[in-house]
Amino acid sequence: MTTSILVVDDEPSFTEALTVGLRREGFEVRTAADGRAALAEISASEPDLVLLDVMLPGMSGLDVCREIRKSSRVPLIMVTARGEEIDAVVGLEVGADDYVTKPYRLRELVARMRAVLRRASGQPVAPEGDSNCLIEGDVVLDIDRHELQVGGELVTLALKEFELLAYLLRNAGRVVTRDSLMQNVWGYNYIGDTKTIDVHVKRLRAKIEDDPSNPQRITTIRGLGYRYERTAARPDSS
């Protein structure tokens, strides 16, 4: 069955362009220009996913999200303008499953939509070989484009940093040993010190961690190796 998307936004030009793009990706798209219309659409025929803009006329997107969550667990992604981080945080607190920041690339949006839909259905977020994007929270690694975005911002990675992050993301939530990293990222024929792994992890942390000295994404498991922490369960210490 075709996945149905409800786009809630009051900018006609944006809505029209997004509708065309999503239909090309195989989605069925309906639209609503304000919160009341969105609630009516959801009540009449609940979509598979809602893209909800924060800035709406009359009833705000945050209020719409609160109303939706009173009666529905439909997957919902908040859309915010760049710089409105507080809206994104509040959106997650009132029940949004994820958020994206305008302007964004369609590929990133679709990847996040599919990740949210997979989570809602109980499937893994980004199983190896099933997606060209590896996503964990606001980290989106596009394998085909060889691009990393953190919080919507492009981050430049060296080749080995990219390959290291990809391997860690594919094994998110699991401990990966230095031996497994050496074999799967550097290759069986690599001749060198395993300290090179620690150096690359340090460089990677400097690019993706809010505080590299207190890493919350890539944590050290003493005596074993490293673990990329799932977004919902990041520890307080490294």
**Which CATH number does 148-233 carry?**
1.10.10.10
- The beta-carbon contacts of 149-158 under 8 Å, at least 24 apart in sequence, are 149/108, 150/207, 150/208, 151/101, 152/82, 152/100, 152/101, 152/104, 152/108, 155/207, 155/208, 156/207, 157/204, 157/207, 158/203
Residues 103-156: tens digit of each pLDDT: 778 888 888 888 888 877 764 444 333 447 888 888 888 887 788 988 888 898
Residues 161-194: tens digit of each pLDDT: 999 999 999 898 889 998 888 888 877 555 455 6
**Which CATH number does 4-122 carry?**
3.40.50.2300
Residue range(s) of every CATH 1.10.10.10 domain in the chain? 148-233
Reported pTM: 0.54
Which two tokens mark 165?
């992050």
Give residue for tokens 């997606």.
131
Residue range(s) of every CATH 3.40.50.2300 domain in the chain? 4-122
Give residue for tokens 């945080």.
89
Which two tokens mark 8?
């809630």
